Amino acid sequence: MSLPDNVRQVLNRGVVIPASPLALDEQRQFDERYQRAVWRYYGAAGAGGIAVGVHTTQFAIRDPKIGLYRPLLALAKEVFDELDQARSEPMIRVAGICGRTDEAVAEASYAAEQGFHTGLLNLSAMRQADDIQLAEHCREVSKVLPVFGFYLQASVGGRPLPYSFWRRFAEVENVAAVKIAAFNRYQTIDVVRALAEAGRNDVALYTGNDDNILMDLVTPFRFMAGGKPVERRFVGGLLGHWAVWTQSAVDLLARCHLAVADGGAVSPDLLAANVAVTDMNAALFDVANQFAGCIPGVHEILRRQGLLPGTWCLNPEENLSPGQSEELDRVSRAYPDLVDDEFVAENLTEWLA
C-alpha cells in the first residue's frame, strides 16, 4: 500500500495533527458519543489529520482485557468518512502502531483495512533490537502501511534512537513522514541530518517536541550532503498538545508557514508565542511531575470545555497531579489568545448530536 497522491500533498504541505485522547465514562468504559465529538471538534477547528491509537490515546487500549484498539479504529473510520464529506481535501488518518514485528504488522494491516493512510510506528517494544533489526522491523511494517517514523521521548516509554538507526531508516522506501518527539535538540538534529544526508526530501518532518513547537516550525536545518548544502524544515506537528486548543494551533501553524514563506527574520511576537506555548505545555503535560499527568491534563482541558465527560483514564492511578489544575488555570488566564473556549462553546451541541 502506498500513500495516495492527494494525501501526500496535504502531508508534505504541513498540517495540524492532534494526537487523539480516549473518551471514557465514569465507569471507564468507552464513550462513543464524546469520542465522536472530540474528532468532530478537530475537523471543525481546521486540523488536517488525526492520530488514533497513539500515546495520548493510551497504550492500554491494546490490553486483551480492554480490547479497544480495533473498535476505536473502526469508529474513527466512520467519523473520518463523515468529516471528509465536508472537506475539499482528505483528513490524514494516522494509526498508532505498537509491538514486536508480528504484532505491529497485524495492527498495521487492520489500520489499512480501516482506511488509515499511515502508521505512527512506536519502537518501544524493540528495546533489545540493534539498528539493523529495527530498520528491518520498520521495513516489514511498511509493506502493509506507509510508515510515519517516531522518536518518542524516554520519559514516556521511548528508547534511544541514534543517527545510525535513522540513516538506515531512511533506506526504507515506504516512509511517509517522521514525528520527532525526543524533547532533545541533539537527538532532533540526528534525525533531520540522517534524512537530509540520505536525500529523503519526500519524507515530511513533523514536530512532536512539545517543549519547542514553534521554533521547530520556523528553524532551517542546514547540512552538507554530498558536498552540497541541504536544508530541511518541519512542516507541521503531530502533538498531544494540539489535542486541545486546536483552533489556536491551526492559527499558529499558519503564522509559522507565513514566516517561513516570507524568508525574513522571525518576528519577536512569534518568538514570544513559542515561550507562551511552552509555558502552557508545562502545565498541560505536567512537567513538574515528570509528565505523570500528561494524559489527564489533556482530558482536563477537554472536560472544562464539555468535550469529555471527565478526566478518567484506563489506569485508575493515572490522574491530575497535585497543583496541575491550578497551573492549567494560570496558563489559560495568562494566554487567552491561545485558547479556543468560545469556539467550542458555539459548536459543542452540534458535535455531541
pLDDT tens column, 225-275: 989 999 999 999 999 999 999 999 999 999 999 999 999 899 999 999 999
Give the separation between CA 16 and CA 254, rounded to whole angstroms: 10
Please list, in sequence order, all residues whose beta carbon lies within 8 angstroms of the beta carbon of residue 76, skipping any fewer than 6 positions away: 20, 39, 50, 52, 93, 114, 116
CA distances from 287 to 35, 81, 95, 225 (A): 26, 36, 26, 37
- Least confident range from 73-77, 123-127, 139-143, 300-304: namely 123-127
The CATH number for 5-262, chosen from 3.20.20.70, 3.30.950.10, 3.40.50.720, 3.30.450.20, is: 3.20.20.70
Tell me: the pLDDT tens digits for 200-225? 999 999 999 999 999 999 999 999 99
Helix-helix angle 131-142:101-113, to 10 degrees: 20
Per-residue model confidence as pLDDT tens digits over 335-346: 999 999 999 999
| Distance in angstroms (rounded) separating the CA atoms of residues 169 and 129 | 14
> What mean pLDDT is predicted for residues 6-28?
98
Q: State pTM to two decimals.
A: 0.97
Distances from the Cα of 349 to the Cα of 25, 31, 46, 332, angstroms: 18, 16, 18, 23
- Grid coordinates representing 330 are 494560570
Q: What pLDDT is recorded for position 160?
A: 87
The neighbouring-strand residues paired with 181 are: 152
Mean pLDDT value across residues 130-157: 93
